[in-house]
Amino acid sequence: MIIENKNLTMSHVEIAELVGSRPDSVKRTIETLAEKGIITFTQTVEKSSGGRPGTIYHVNKRNSYVVVAQLCPEFTARLVDRWQELEEQATHPALPSTYIEALEELLTSKKNEEALTLVNKEQEAEINDLKNLFKEGMTTTQFCKMLNGVNTQQINSYLAERNWLFNESKSGTRWRCASYARDKYLTEHQHKISVHGGEDFIKFQPVLLRKGAERIFTLYRQAKLPMKANWDGQFTHDKQIQVAS
């Protein structure tokens, strides 16, 4: 539990413990619901028991019910009980009984502040990176070519699995924007193709919107995009690419 702007939140780890699910499954559920605009969440960086930093997702009371309803509806009553405990603790926090406990609480508070500062700096760096990378009119393939290690031959099939694209051709490949991503993550450019001795036709080219580039960049930093077999494990990028007009 943490308190953000006087509002209680619950971590994905605690939700996993309550419903007996894997933490990574809870994170995926939170991401999916957030992508659909159903909930929002915040992130912090905290050290695990093994000492390595990890990203923790936090949701408020309302959104935690949505997550649990998606995961395991039968555990809703247990979630209600846990929120009552958290709200009671926030209303009547236990005071440190010893000088050592007081120091430990102060140390924990300082660590949380430092972790939040680190997250803010990382988010600021990501925003600056995107300013250098994204150009209007980019396709998903062009954008991903600048991201070290991404398998650009598989990226559109991957996005089709996430309901961003669909293939309208029965015999080949003609990608179109799916309704879920249209005007949110992607839009389409139209080109008139003239065929000698035949009828002209319209070719549709899905292109990225800025929000779509931000989402792909986030998935890249989370190592969720299809990657090449010889990827060196480094999340780096090129700053320039030729964009066809």
Residue-wise pLDDT for 46-76, tens only, equals 766 555 677 899 998 888 888 888 888 777 7
Q: Are residues 77 and 144 in the same domain?
A: no
Distance in angstroms (rounded) separating the CA atoms of residues 31 and 12: 11
Boundary residue ending a domain (37, 69, 94) = 94
Residue 175 inside a domain? The answer is yes
Q: Supply the pLDDT for residue 176.
A: 94
Residue 22 inside a domain? The answer is yes
Q: Are residues 15 and 82 in the same domain?
A: yes
**Does residue 123 or residue 107 have the better pLDDT?**
107
Q: Supply the pLDDT for residue 92.
A: 65
Token output for 113: 């502040």
Stretch 214-233: mean pLDDT: 88
Residue 126 inside a domain? The answer is no
Q: Which of helix, strand or coil describes residue 232?
A: coil
Q: Supply the pLDDT for residue 244.
A: 39
Distance in angstroms (rounded) separating the CA atoms of residues 173 and 64: 40
Residue 114 inside a domain? The answer is no
* Mean of pLDDT over the chain: 80
Q: Are residues 85 and 6 in the same domain?
A: yes
Residue 117 inside a domain? The answer is no
3-7, 85-89, 141-145, 185-189: segment of lowest average pLDDT? 3-7
Q: Are residues 87 and 11 in the same domain?
A: yes
Name the strands in the sheet holding 42-47, side by side, starting at the edge strand that comes first in the sequence. 2-4, 7-11, 53-60, 42-47
- The answer to whether residue 23 scores a pLDDT higher than 50 is yes
Distance in angstroms (rounded) separating the CA atoms of residues 146 and 238: 5
Q: Supply the pLDDT for residue 139.
A: 94
**Does residue 198 or residue 146 have the better pLDDT?**
146
Q: Are residues 8 and 71 in the same domain?
A: yes
Stretch 191-216: mean pLDDT: 85
Token output for 2: 């943490």
Q: Supply the pLDDT for residue 70.
A: 85
Residue 196 inside a domain? The answer is yes
Q: Supply the pLDDT for residue 155.
A: 95
Domain around 83: 2-94
Boundary residue ending a domain (68, 94, 120) = 94
Burial per residue of 96-132, b for 16 or more beta-carbon CB atoms within 10 angstroms, e otherwise: eeeeeeeeeeeeeeeeeeebbeebeeeeeeeeebbee
pTM summary value? 0.51
Q: Supply the pLDDT for residue 167.
A: 93
Residue 23 inside a domain? The answer is yes
- The answer to whether residue 181 scores a pLDDT higher than 60 is yes
Number of domains composing the chain: 2
Residue 230 inside a domain? The answer is no
Q: Which of helix, strand or coil describes residue 223?
A: coil
